[in-house]
Amino acid sequence: MTASIPPCPLCTMENTYADGGNYICADCAHEWPIQASAPNEDNDAVVVTDSNGTVLVDGDSVVLIKDLKVKGSSITLKVGTKVKSIRLVGGDHEVDCKMDAGSFMLKACFLRKA
């Protein structure tokens, strides 16, 4: 029965279940409708925009628009830091990138296209 239930579109974990008219992910608590997920399984066209509304794509370079404190660490990512070769992923933090301080997942609202 679990083969017919899709994995979570946010965290991609397969620990999901149906509850009423929604699928629910037990790992990240994301809920999405059962009806909308069945007709268009190939909905990969997620548009991610920066703080100015410019569309971002994989491989773009972006600049931080504010200081960001890294959770669980004493590291602060400084405003004006340029990040090259971003990768877009699904979820709340849409941008995956590598910097000198390590690998980070960032929200696009704190970035602008360089």
Residue 32's pLDDT is 83
**Terminal CA-CA length for the chain:** 47
Structure tokens at 86: 């971003």
Q: What is the mean pLDDT of the chain?
A: 85
74/42: higher pLDDT: 74
According to DSSP, the β-strands at 111-113 and 31-33 are unpaired
Q: Is the pLDDT confidence value at 11 over 90?
A: no
Query: Cβ(56)–Cβ(62) under 8 Å?
Result: yes
Residue 90's pLDDT is 83
User: What torsion do the CA atoms of 82, 61, 73, 76 make, to the nearest 10 degrees?
Assistant: 30
Where in the chain do CATH 2.30.30.40 domains reside? 48-113
pLDDT bracket for residue 2 (50, 70, 90): very low
Query: Could you tell me which of 97, 77, 101, 73 has the C-alpha nearest to residue 85?
Result: 97
Give percent above pLDDT 70 in the chain: 89
Q: Is the pLDDT confidence value at 30 over 90?
A: no
Residue 97's pLDDT is 94
Q: Is the pLDDT confidence value at 110 over 60?
A: yes
Spatial separation of the C-alpha atoms in residues 11 and 18, rounded to whole Å:
17
Where in the chain do CATH 2.20.25.10 domains reside? 2-37
Spatial separation of the C-alpha atoms in residues 84 and 94, rounded to whole Å:
15
Class of the domain covering 48-113: mainly beta
Chain Cα centroid distance, residue 34: 21
Q: Please name the fold of domain 2-37.
A: N-terminal domain of TfIIb (2.20.25)
Q: How confident is the model over 61-96, as pLDDT tens digits?
A: 999 999 999 999 999 999 999 999 999 998 889 999
The per-type count for the chain, helices as H runs and strands as E runs, is 1, 13
